[in-house]
Amino acid sequence: MKDLNDGGVLVVGCGRMGGALLDGWIAQGLRPASLWIEDPHPGDRLLALAAQGAHVNAPRPARPAVVLLAVKPQMMAGVLAGLAALPADVPVLSVAAGVSLQQYGAVLGDRPIIRAMPNTPALVGRGMTAIIGNAHAGPGHLALAVRMFSAVGEVVALEAEVQIDAVTAISGSGPAYLFLFAEALEQAARGLGLPEALARRLARGTVGGAAELMVASGRDAAELRHEVTSPGGTTAAGLAVLMRPDGLSELVAGAAEAARDRSVALGR
């Protein structure tokens, strides 16, 4: 974090994702005094950081090491206009959905710009972030982005910006799909006669534990499924319903396509 501590990090917008990144960076050694944070409604967390030396809604540094844009897409136009005067070698990272590299470049000029698509498990350090840079973002800039987003989980590099829409549909929206499955499992438990508190505890513990097992084992999901499915047993009976031609796989594929198409439409 020495280069970031020396140059400073400008964070524009500090909602849940921006806050998660701040926590991750500070845990890895970024000093609060090296942070310049702009947010129209600073909460207790930002005020606490200000007491530790962070510059909250203060004049910007002349040449920060990096800029993070974490504002809503509809606010981006006004934000970008205010950043155009920054030196052209200052890299800009953005977590805003639906704003293309071309749109950023039209306002910010020929500078390194990297789009990132993190997801909400970043709030607990288990995020999945995909990144893609423009033609001016070299290996060093991409390595910087990987280092910064690794503070809240895993990072993958995309080959082309068009892949962002598919990533949005899978890792971006994927946590909501999993939460819905946990809801459905809880409802099924209640339908089988279990009390509400027990149904919730079983559903959440099962979904969370299974996810941890899959990640920790590093094994293929299908392999793990086969391992816990005894021929003719209870799990096989349940899977026979979920794996019908119009079952879970088909529903998930349809959901992902709908999310991808919506991401494309928003980008336009």
Per residue in 135-159, pLDDT (tens digit) is 999 999 999 999 999 999 999 999 9
Q: Is 67 annotated as a binding residue?
A: no
The residue count of the chain comes to 268
Domains of the chain, each with CATH number or no CATH: 1-160 (3.40.50.720), 173-267 (1.10.3730.10)
pLDDT of residue 225: 97
Euclidean distance between CA atoms 207 and 166, whole angstroms: 24
pLDDT in tens, 210-254: 999 999 999 999 999 999 999 999 999 999 999 999 999 999 999
The three-state DSSP-derived secondary structure of the chain is CHHHHHHCEEEECCCHHHHHHHHHHHHCCCCHHHEEEECCCCCHHHHHHHHCCCEECCCCCCCCCEEEECCCHHHHHHHHHHHCCCCCCCCEEECCCCCCHHHHHHHHCCCCEEEEECCHHHHHCCEEEEEEECCCCCHHHHHHHHHHHHHHEEEEECCCCCHHHHHHHHHHCHHHHHHHHHHHHHHHHHHCCCCHHHHHHHHHHHHHHHHHHHHHHCCCHHHHHHHCCCCCCHHHHHHHHHCCCCCHHHHHHHHHHHHHHHHHHHHC
Has 70 been labeled as part of a binding site?
yes
Looking at every residue in the chain, the average pLDDT score rounds to 94
> pLDDT (tens digit, 9 = 90+) per residue, 31-85?
999 999 999 888 898 999 999 999 999 999 989 999 999 998 888 888 898 888 8
| 72 marked as part of a ligand binding site | yes
The response to whether 71 counts as a known ligand-binding position is yes
pLDDT at residue 105 is higher than 90: yes
Predicted pLDDT of residue 148: 95
- At 106 the pLDDT is 92
Ligand-binding site membership of 73 (annotated): yes
